[in-house]
Amino acid sequence: MIDTSLKISLLDTLKRIQDEFGVAYLYITHDLALGRYFAQEQRLAVMYLGQIIETGPTEAVISAPKHPYTRALISAGDMEERVEYDLIGVEIPSFHEIPRGCPLSPRCPEAMKGICYSVEPELLPTSPDRAVACHLYSGPREKNGVR
């Protein structure tokens, strides 16, 4: 664990390099506030057990999260958008024993019997610039492929 002042200094340096030279980062974190910092005016992808489960413009994903895991990450963080949202249990499945269907289904308070426990959701568009892998958004598609 690094000292907070060193952490801030390092993050500021990385952000300055990003702004000055137009570099992109693949920044992996559980802290969406830090992810937001690096992905300002960019896109954010949220992963669970190695799979992208939600993606879109950073502010859209954080201000209006669609996937239950994204909501839980925001709830666990220190963000002004924080709204209480808890997953069931705390045990994360092993990569060797990923549940059938949606990988989050055993922990998801919104899991639907049947489909969530048996069919893996696809990452599908919910708008022209957003996509989510969740059966809550797997209704009929419009002509342009958006749900």
Owning domain of residue 119: 42-137
Q: How confident is the model at residue 79 (pLDDT cuts 50, 70, 90)?
A: low
Q: Give a yes or no: residue 69 inside a domain.
A: yes
Q: Give a yes or no: residue 98 inside a domain.
A: yes
pTM of the model: 0.81
Q: What local confidence, expressed as pLDDT, does residue 65 receive?
A: 94
- Convert the pLDDT of each residue in 16-53 to its tens digit: 998 899 888 788 888 888 788 777 778 999 999 989 99
Rounded to whole angstroms, the Cα distance separating 68 from 3 reads: 32
Q: In the chain, how many domains are there? A: 1
